[in-house]
Amino acid sequence: MNAELLRRYLAFYRDLGFSSLYRRTPPPEAASEPRQQAAQPAQTLLLEELLPDPAPSDDTLEKIREDIGDCRRCRLHEHRTQIVFGVGNPQARLVFVGEGPGADEDAQGIPFVGRAGQLLTQMIENTARKEGIPLLRQDVYICNVVKCRPPENRTPLADEMETCGQFLYRQLAAIRPKAICALGSVAAKALLGAKEGVTRLRGRWHRWRDIPVMVTYHPSFLLRPYNQNAKREAWEDLKKVLHYVYD
């Protein structure tokens, strides 16, 4: 295994939130051999046989969706109607990442089509228009951390986020946007490994690999009537993102 492939594997699992790697113990018959001779084959076997290709260089959204298939990799498949993969321009310069599908999204198979989705569309298009930027929802790409609706819209669990994380990673790597907007704390955690809340993370740039990330409030949070200050802050965040990407 060459150094570049090893680097890609390590970066892939770092982005999924792993902080350490398991190293297989050499088999008993190798125990008597010199330690230096046995260690390298064991490490190579682990990486080549157990790790998936982190992101094929010729990856496309179509290939990623085909690889997901009728996914049953975690418990979320048990109650879903359908997988909600993503929607928008596959060459988008801006990608929005949310938490997971709700009831409307689960029914239609499209992310952000319910009340929160309608607000997101208004935020994108109205802010762009006021800032003199010709941009519609269809020009960006929108997806979620998990592709199946969590029961009762609960927060996705850590193992569910890790399972779907490989596909989110590949989506972002295939699109290669100029910037990513993380909507809410779940998206921020998936992309940045952040433990802080949105209030502390928003308003400044972070990075997922080499792509700038702006964290802001999830539209469902902004629908609550007492969050007027959050609406103003989200508008400021979105203005910053749009000018960075499209100016």
Structural domains of the chain, with CATH: 3-50 (no CATH), 61-246 (3.40.470.10)
pLDDT at residue 10, as a whole number: 61
For the chain, how many residues are written? Answer: 247
Q: Flag residues of the chain having pLDDT under 70.
A: 1-56
pLDDT at residue 134, as a whole number: 96
Compute the distance between CA of residue 120 and CA of residue 142 in angstroms, rounded to an integer: 10
pLDDT at residue 74, as a whole number: 96
Q: Could you tell me the pTM of the whole model? A: 0.79
181 beta partners: 96, 214
Which residue spans within the chain are E strands per DSSP? 87-88, 94-98, 141-144, 179-183, 205-208, 211-216
Compute the distance between CA of residue 203 and CA of residue 210 in angstroms, rounded to an integer: 18
pLDDT at residue 98, as a whole number: 98
pLDDT at residue 49, as a whole number: 39
pLDDT at residue 42, as a whole number: 40
